[in-house]
Chains A and B, each alone.
Chain A
Amino acid sequence: MIGATIKKDVWLLLRDRGRLASLFVLPVVFIVVFGSMFKFGPDRGTPRPIAIWHAPGDARGEAIAHALAETPGFAARPLASPDDVRRAVAADDVGAGLIVGDGPVELVIDLAAPVQVRGPLQGALTGVVMRALAPIKLPPLVEAKSPPGLAKPLDNITGFQVTVPGNAVLFGFFIALTLAMSFASERHTGTWRRLLAAPVPRWKLLFGKLVPYFLIGLFQLAVLFGLGVAVFGMQIAGSVVALIVLTIALVACSMSFGLLVASFGGTEKQIGSIVPIVLLVMGLLGGCMFPRLIMPPVMQKIGLVVPHSWALDGYYTVLVRSGTTVADIAAPVVALCAFAAGFALLGLLRFRFER
């Protein structure tokens, strides 16, 4: 019976272009768009252009331009006048500008930019200027190192390293919507009555409805991560087994959430209009669209109330940190399992076979 239900539900899904799009096409579109917007990690890709002007032959200016050119992540762009520097910053052609005149060095930067963007740039450029103007050649004063227990991250991290799992988690939860809609459809068309009249125990009917969506959810994430690796150059720094374990926990969580949604017994129209909004808000809080790392600390903490943030923490560790094993992602896996158990328990308590 379960085999027949799997076959039937997979067939129905294949005929439903709207649901297929929400599970497979939309996430790919989001991955492409967001992946092109974000850059993360030690190697930030193309160096950021910084405009600079100094009077010809000015020793201070030449020292700063030299130091800027030697700093990884920055590309010095000499301009003809101080006003050219200011205009380039205002036009957003460069990230910031340095004007080296007679007095203090002028850092030209958009003060309206978010502190998360402006702060690091301002700090780094101040450091460049200080190093260049130091009376003696300073040795490196600060060396960044991961603490013991945290594996070294990959070099050459692209935006896709974050946006592939982000959108996989966001749209992975849409299987909950698909599942809840399927229950509502069965009730609406009367096929649920027919199933209840069949000589099949009720627990088996419920289980039979969940299994296909669990498998579809696994397939969806396999496709998205597969595309991530094959098309978008996403790397898996840690163990593939850890990735699989985390993915199974995520799909179980998503499916349990679908059961909880179905237990409210709304119509297809109600579910279709409310649940996507709920899922998008959960995804937003969990950092699926904008990484929690760049959120204010309060929002980072609030994000922990949704399973998405735990899943993403786990994925980030597996995908970015070399040598990550299942043990290293125990906390996210346990959290996802706890969410799954909670959703399933509430769903089972609320679920009514007869309505």
Chain B
Amino acid sequence: MYYSFSELVSPLLFYLFAFITLAAALLVVLARNIFHCALFLILSLFGVAALFITLDAEFIAAVQVLVYIGAIAVLIVFAIMLTGRIADPLVRQTTRAYILGAFVGALILFVLIYALMSITPLSPYTPETTANGSPTYTLGELLMTKYLLPFEVVSILLVAALVGAIILARGDKKASDVQEGKR
């Protein structure tokens, strides 16, 4: 069976994005310098966003870039810088039981792949040329009708998490006064 060029492009793009995602994720776990780990995490999240686009989920990909890369990754970089000497590449970053950890990871992967191979093969995606309405429109409609309550609950959760984070990160007032007094 022969494939035309356009039929080859989308699988090749999928493999390219999958490779970027997985290679960057592997480097997040393996890299020695923690700051490099954060940068590889950003690359991996970009790869996941690209995979979302290949799944016809453009809005989710945009949310991924905005929330994960724009907010979470920046927060992580901030946390790395605020926690001082951990960014030092000389500090040992792995536990002593790293062989055991890698073994458990490989075991979970084996179990998951084995479960996937034991089910009937899933049918490939059918390209949809005529879609009624854009997926983003449908998603917005769902969020405002069927999933309105979870949507509001998630908003409250986000506000509560923000308030809690501010209280936690602000720290002890007395301790900070003492520190300032010392200076």
Asked if A pairs with B, the answer is no
Q: Which residues of B contact A (CB under 8 A)?
A: none
